Chains A and B, each alone.
Chain A
């Protein structure tokens, strides 16, 4: 179908955009990459009255490192993340997750900030932001505020954004030395929304896990941190022999932490099983990478 009508605004400065959004209130909507919003408008799931196209605000296209923090502006597209040497060197989890995002033509338009602001439970970027302990910078006519990922992401396509506000930047702290990473997903076809996935970080020092992060994707109302598994792993000596049992235990905790929904693509039990498989794969790969091994 075709999108219903709307008033179209394309400001060139952020201050103009936030002024329009303030006047529009709940009737306004930000258009960045449009790879989620436009399908929803074409299918008439949403019908914003005022569409604020931010694509002409050049300041928002910045992708830079500032004091060890990666800053991703609201017009940074998935393809920019994939092509960035900065991201590859310092935020490899984010790069790996982005390889799972849709298809080339979608990655050429879609933005990382848009994915987080949309917060589809099956999307990759909300889980990456949560796993890395990142934050969201929000602008409005009244000023700016910074919200931690776990406070921003509130449920299925629900965030802490208020009417009149827009996401202008994501901030990702750098991982500590000795941290292995992995982002894994399972989908029936390349580029499809995943049936399930997992993101893992293991910070290892002399064979002991100093910090563990584990997040499940596509298993609930949004990304799910498996805190019980993180607690289990933290402080443990993890060698090749012991990893098998330890990661199996973490996988059981992951399976117990989710109540996956059923749909035409997979049943709840299947998805729960997948939570365990994805957890084991992610932890094994993260452990190998923490030792500098390249693990495909």
Chain B
């Protein structure tokens, strides 16, 4: 058995201390040791974007980062996107409503990238969306619906920001009404 290293990190707000082998990727650690299987592994060499997660506020390819490198860091995966009341993140909701998901394999990576984009660009152009998402590959839904979903999520997040607190229920309510 290879040498085990002890790491302590926060994943989706919860702190974990675990022993890992040095060669274990962050992706394999999340899936196999924390059983957070929402992070998907496609190519395992940084090309497909499926394994994209957020570490200390920035997106990373979790197949290209070692679990030991996440020691002391804060990680967010797709399992951490819902708000404390259990409501979907506006990006999740928009993907669902715009049919931007088919098989769902690429989707967790798209969510992480789209959320990072909307954090720095609240009102992105279509070209900005396409450029920012260019490192995430989808092989079945097609990209048009994904771009439309990100535009809708941007609008929902802007509305949230102008309405202050308790925004998600309000946005959902407004949407259903009209």
Contacts and interface: CB of A to CB of B under 8 A. Distances in A.
A167 to B, nearest CB: 19
A270 interface: no
Contact of B59 (A2, A42, A108): A108
B46 A6 contact: no
A104 B113 contact: yes
B64 A38 contact: yes
B34 to A, nearest CB: 17
A7 B130 CA distance: 40
B130 A190 contact: yes
Interface string A4-44: 11111010000000000000000000010011001100110
A109 B60 contact: yes
A81 to B, nearest CB: 14
27 contacts: A1-B44, A2-B23, A3-B25, A5-B2, A5-B21, A5-B22, A7-B22, A8-B66, A34-B66, A38-B46, A38-B64, A38-B65, A39-B64, A42-B44, A42-B64, A102-B135, A103-B49, A105-B49, A105-B59, A105-B60, A105-B112, A105-B113, A105-B135, A106-B61, A108-B59, A109-B61, A109-B65
A189 B44 contact: no
Nearest to A189: B134
A39 B46 contact: yes
Contacts of B113: 104-105
A282 interface: no
Interface of B: 2-3, 5, 21-23, 25, 28, 44-47, 49, 52, 58-61, 63-66, 68-69, 112-113, 116-117, 130-132, 134-136
Contact of B45 (A4, A43, A109): A43
Contact of B68 (A10, A105, A189): A10
A111 to B, nearest CB: 13
A3 B25 CA distance: 8
A191 interface: yes
A3 B23 contact: yes
Nearest to B45: A39
A35 B46 contact: yes
B58 A108 contact: yes
A191 B22 contact: no
A109 B22 contact: no
4 residue pairs, one from A and one from B, having the closest CB atoms:
A103-B135, A8-B22, A39-B45, A190-B134
Q: Label chain B's interface by main secondary structure.
A: mixed
A79 to B, nearest CB: 7
A50 B151 CA distance: 46
A211 interface: no
Contacts of A189: 134
Contacts of B68: 8, 10, 53
**Most A CB atoms within 10 A — which of B3, B52, B69?**
B69
Contacts of B46: 35, 38-39, 106
Contacts of A31: 66
A104 B2 CA distance: 33
B63 A42 contact: yes
B55 to A, nearest CB: 8
A104 B135 contact: yes
Nearest to A53: B69
A51 B10 CA distance: 24
B61 A5 contact: no
Contacts of A5: 2, 21-23
A188 to B, nearest CB: 11
Contacts of B63: 38, 42
B1 to A, nearest CB: 10
A2 B58 contact: no
